[in-house]
Each structure stands twice: as C-alpha cells, then as structure tokens.
C-alpha cells in the first residue's frame, strides 16, 4: 500500500469545526472595518520576488531566510507572499488609487507564507486579517487604525490583551540614530552574542530583540530612538497618543519595539496576548510613509496592521457559532428513479424559496434517513413516496400527507413559520 500522505510541516487543515470560529473572525473584522469605510481587497498569492526585497527590506529575516521563492517557467523569480502590505501598496500604485479620495482604506483576509520553524502559534502557512490606509500622513489615521484593531480583538474575546506603542521617526532620524547605536554596539562588541555582532551593520536595531544575557546588558544603556525624534515626529507621535487616550485604549510606550519589516516610519505598535506562549504577538503594524516610493511611486504616506487569525483563535477562548437551522430534510422512500428526481426537485425548490434544505445523498434505509434527519436538526422531514409526499414536523412528531406536489410541500414548510 502506498504511504499515507500528510499535510506539509507547519501547515494545517481548516476542518468544519475550525471553520465556524474563523467565520466569526471574518464577520467581526468585516463589520468593524467596513463600518469605518474600509473596503475589501485581495492580491495574488504570489508576487515578483523583487516586491518583497524592495518593500519588506533585503536585510530582514523574512527576506533573508523565510520566503518560499521559486522560478516560474519564464525564468522570473516568484515568491509566495510573506505579508500583505507590500502587495497592497503595489496594487494602490498599479491601479492609480491616488486618484481616489485619500486615504484609500483597504482590508484583506488572506493566507501568507513564511518558512519559519513551526511551533505553537507559528505556521508556515497562516492567515491574517489586515487593514491599510494609504494616502494620509495625519496622526488620526494611525490612532483610528489602532483603535479598530483593538475593537476587533476585544469583540472577538482575545484575552489579556496589551498594546505596545513606539515611534521610529523618519528615515533620516533613524539613520542618525543608527550611527549612534552602531557606535554603542561597537564599543561593547565583546559582550554581544555572535549573531548580533555579525549583524551590527546590517540591522543593529535587532539587538534590542536578543535573549542573550550579555547583549541584553549592553542594550540596557543603549541610546533610544524615541529620545532622538525630530520635533515634527515627536509632535506626530504625541498626537497619536492623545487620540488613543481620548479613545480610552490603554498602551505601554515601548522605546525598543522592533518590527520585523523595514518599511516602518514613525508609529509602530504590537498587540500581545498573555494567553499565547512564546509567539505572543497577536497583531501589529505601523506607518510606512516611504514604502510606495520604494516601489517606484510618488511619496505616499500609509499606515496599517495585520493580525494572525490562528493566534486570535488561540487567545480568544472558545465561543461556538450557532449552527444554521435546517428547515427541511428530504427523505426518499423507495428505489425508483422518479422518486429520487422528485426529491431532488423538492430540495431545489425549497432552497429557491429561501429554506435551508438537505437531501438524502447516501442511499440510506428509511430508518437511517430519519435518524440522519434528526441528527442534522431538521425541523421538517419530507418523505417522498410514489403516491404522495409525507411531511413530518420533527418537533411535534405529527405527520400529514401533502397533495399538490413539491410546491405544496415548500408552501407548508414556509407556513410552518421557519422563516
Ligand atoms: P507581522 O507582525 O509580521 O506584520 O504579522 C502580523 C501578525 O501575523 C502577527 O502579529 C501574527 O499574529 C501573525 N503571524 C505572523 N507570522 C506568523 C506565523 N508564522 N504563523 C502564524 N501567525 C503569524 C505584518 O505582516 C505586516 N504586514 C503588518 C502591517 C500591515 N503593517 C502595516 N500594515
């Protein structure tokens, strides 16, 4: 016998039992985001590799080690999207969305791919809901976007939720700060972990993320970017905070907040949940004013976030969605083709009339069909016989013959008050 195949490591199936809570995530995200004027967007599952190299940043872990990249038949390098911001920015640019009223507010629910080491809450294919507001530099857009994510996560029941907030300033501030930080790291090089030492020039900010005790010691006295912000960036950040305060969304200022993507400028944030283990980030984002320019467009500000659906579900406890009510189960009493065709027609008519209907699909005995109808929670069972159709009310157990064909059955079920 051939070997039984399994889904690849770090991937998971979404089975019907998992689908219901996911629908709740989609429903809440859609209600909150579309209510605030965000409109749904979907971009392709794969993009030109260059989009992520330029957009996400060549020195990031994502681009350096986590992308699923391959060549298509024409020798072009293609990558399964590891995130959604660069693709949405590309779509904004490609479709001339700067001509629309700004900011253009877009949301998505898509799967993403990162070749990471799989563990609890970390997958190689995972799903995100994301929201991007492109075309306005106003601090209120950052604040609103953060509040919307806070609302989504709270409504979904994510437990022990914390918001960490920081500001990275502009690229110039970061460049100046970076020099200061590199000088600090160089001056303490012998106490750093090998990995951090090897990346001092490539990505010195990542040193704040390190677990290595010597490195952590060195970082305690490191200069902080938040203390070096230019006046207008500090003002922008103060405005974001004032709006969050007004909205009553609590946050911790985190001057060492590092995000794994290079496109951020000014506001950055992350929501964590104490209900998650090591992978505690449930969602995060920030402002990316330089991204569209990086992709070959005009200078265009933008801000947004993404939240992992698996992590939302892991941190939200279990809240079952109500199953849809089954109005009618169509059972067939007999072997003749005519009966089966009549039953088939009845199910179609019932659905066209707005009823939820299921049809016997496995050739069960009459007893088996009634059992299946009860298991499915059907309110009515129609038993199609050669001489008539019998209609049984599953709640009262009453049964009566219906003359007048399938339409009369649909009529009786509708009249039964199921709609
Ligand atoms: P990110 O922080 O890389 O940001 O990912 C956002 C969220 O996706 C994380 O907080 C986490 O919940 C989930 N996530 C990330 N990687 C995995 C994984 N391997 N397995 C399961 N869940 C994962 C972004 O992707 C940015 N595009 C967010 C953004 C939008 N910034 C501005 N606009």
- Would you give per-residue pLDDT tens digits along the chain (419 residues)? 899 999 999 999 999 888 888 999 999 999 999 999 999 999 999 999 999 999 999 988 999 999 999 999 999 999 999 999 999 999 999 999 999 999 999 999 999 999 999 999 999 999 999 999 999 999 999 999 999 999 999 999 999 999 999 999 988 888 899 999 999 999 999 999 999 999 898 888 889 888 999 999 999 999 999 999 999 999 999 999 999 999 999 999 998 887 889 999 999 999 999 999 888 999 999 999 999 999 999 999 999 999 999 999 999 976 666 778 999 999 999 999 999 999 999 999 999 999 999 999 999 999 999 999 999 999 999 999 999 999 999 999 999 999 889 999 999 999 985 44
* Structural domain contains residue 221: no
Q: Are residues 250 and 393 in the same domain?
A: no
Give the range of the structural domain holding residue 375, as residue numbers without chain letter. Answer: 326-414
**What Rg do the C-alpha atoms of the chain give, in angstroms?**
28
Ligand 1 pocket test target in 165, 304, 306, 315 with most atoms within 8 Å of CB: 306
DSSP-derived 3-state class of residue 55: helix
Predicted pLDDT of residue 175: 85
* Structural domain contains residue 218: no
Of the candidates 50, 17, 40, 20, the one whose C-alpha atom is nearest the C-alpha of residue 88 is 40
Question: How remote is the CA of residue 352 from the centroid of ligand 1, in Å?
Answer: 41
**Residue whose CA is closest, atom 22 of ligand 1?**
308
Cβ atoms of residues 62 and 306 within 8 Å: no
Question: Which DSSP string corresponds to 356-383?
Answer: -EEE--S---HHHHHHHHHHTTEEEEEE
The backbone region for 189, taken as left when phi is positive above 0, alpha when psi lies in -120 to 50, beta otherwise, is alpha
Annotated binding-site residues for L-histidine read 83-85, 114, 128, 132, 259, 263-264
**How would you class 193 by CB atoms within 10 Å of its CB: exposed for 0-12, middle for 13-18, buried for 19 or more?**
middle
Q: Can you give the CATH number for the domain in which 252 is found?
A: 3.30.930.10
Measure Cα distances from 258 to 27, 167, 208, 247, 286 in Å.
Answer: 31, 10, 7, 25, 11
Point out the domain boundary residue: 316, 338, 366. 316
Tokens coding 355: 């009823």
Cβ atoms of residues 409 and 351 within 8 Å: no
Q: Are strands 326-332 and 357-359 parallel, antiparallel or unpaired?
A: parallel
Q: Are residues 308 and 331 in the same domain?
A: no
Q: Are residues 275 and 362 in the same domain?
A: no
Predicted pLDDT of residue 288: 97
Q: Can you give the CATH number for the domain in which 334 is found?
A: 3.40.50.800
Ligand 1 pocket test target in 168, 291, 311 with most atoms within 8 Å of CB: 311
Q: Are residues 37 and 163 in the same domain?
A: yes
Q: Are residues 136 and 253 in the same domain?
A: yes
Annotated binding-site residues read 83-85, 114, 128, 132, 259, 263-264
Q: Are residues 114 and 239 in the same domain?
A: yes
Helix (H) or strand (E) holding 37: none
**Residue whose CA is closest, atom 18 of ligand 1?**
122
Question: Which DSSP string corresponds to 147-190?
Answer: HHHHHHHHHTT-SSEEEEEEE---HHHHHHHHHHHHHHHHHTGG
Cβ atoms of residues 327 and 356 within 8 Å: yes
Distance between CA atoms of residues 49 and 167, nearest Å: 29
Q: Are residues 157 and 50 in the same domain?
A: yes
How many structural domains comprise the chain?
2
Distance between CA atoms of residues 192 and 215, nearest Å: 5
* Structural domain contains residue 197: no
Cβ atoms of residues 127 and 11 within 8 Å: no
Distance between CA atoms of residues 391 and 357, nearest Å: 14
Measure Cα distances from 134 to 91, 150, 317, 365 in Å.
Answer: 11, 20, 33, 60
Tokens coding 258: 């590092």
């Amino acid at each position: 016998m051939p070997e039984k195949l399994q889904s690849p490591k770090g991937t998971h199936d979404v089975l019907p039992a998992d689908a219901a809570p996911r629908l709740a995530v989609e429903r809440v995200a859609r209600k909150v985001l579309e209510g605030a004027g965000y409109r749904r967007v979907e971009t392709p599952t794969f993009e030109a590799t260059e989009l992520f190299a330029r957009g996400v940043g060549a020195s990031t872990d994502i681009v350096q080690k986590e992308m699923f990249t391959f060549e298509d038949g024409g020798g072009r390098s293609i990558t399964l999207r590891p995130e959604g911001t660069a693709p949405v920015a590309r779509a904004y640019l490609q479709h001339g969305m700067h001509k629309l009223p700004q900011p253009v507010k877009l949301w998505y629910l898509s799967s993403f791919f990162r070749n990471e080491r799989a563990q609890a809450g970390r997958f190689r294919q995972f799903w995100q809901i994301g929201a991007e507001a492109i075309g306005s530099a106003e601090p209120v857009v950052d604040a609103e976007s953060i509040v919307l994510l806070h609302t989504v996560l709270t409504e979904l029941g994510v437990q022990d939720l914390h918001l960490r907030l920081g500001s990275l300033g502009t690229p110039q501030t970061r460049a100046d700060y970076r020099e200061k930080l590199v000088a600090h790291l160089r001056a303490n090089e012998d106490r750093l972990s090998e990995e951090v030492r090897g990346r001092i020039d490539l990505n010195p900010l990542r040193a704040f993320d390190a677990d290595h005790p010597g490195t952590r010691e060195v970082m305690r006295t490191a200069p902080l970017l938040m203390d070096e912000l230019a006046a207008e960036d500090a003002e922008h950040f103060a405005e974001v905070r004032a709006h969050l305060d007004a909205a009553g969304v609590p946050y911790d200022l985190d001057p060492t907040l590092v995000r794994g993507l290079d496109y951020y400028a000014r506001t950055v944030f992350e929501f964590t949940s104490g209900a998650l283990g090591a992978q505690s980030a449930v969602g995060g984002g920030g402002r990316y004013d330089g991204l569209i320019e990086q992709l070959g467009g005009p200078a265009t500000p933008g801000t947004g976030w993404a939240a992992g659906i698996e992590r939302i579900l892991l941190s939200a406890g279990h809240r079952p969605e109500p199953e849809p009510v089954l109005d009618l189960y169509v059972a067939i009493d007999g072997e003749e083709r005519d009966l089966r065709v009549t039953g088939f027609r009845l199910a179609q008519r019932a659905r066209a009339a707005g009823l939820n209907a299921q049809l016997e699909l496995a050739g069960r005995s009459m007893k088996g069909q009634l059992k299946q109808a009860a298991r499915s929670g059907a309110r009515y069972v129609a038993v199609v016989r050669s001489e008539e159709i019998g209609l049984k009310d599953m709640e009262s157990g009453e049964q009566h013959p219906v003359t007048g064909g399938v339409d009369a059955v649909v009529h009786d079920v509708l009249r039964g008050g199921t709609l």
